[in-house]
Amino acid sequence: MVGGTWLASSKHGKFTFLTNFREIPPIPQAKSRIDLPVRFL
């Protein structure tokens, strides 16, 4: 299993999170999804 959570908030009250859960083997060259919550903020 692979899992993880990204959590972010802004000084202006925006809040976002992303959870990951999968049972397949991870892909070493895959990009992190941390950009998604950060770009939202």
Q: For residue 22, which of 40, 41, 4 has the smallest C-alpha distance? A: 4
Dihedral pair phi/psi, residue 2, rounded to 5°: -125, 135
Domain parsing of the chain, residue ranges: 2-40
Measured distance CA(25)–CA(41) in Å, rounded: 30
User: Residue 3: what pLDDT?
Assistant: 66
Q: Tell me the pTM.
A: 0.48
pLDDT tens readout for residues 5-33: 878 888 999 998 888 776 677 777 877 77
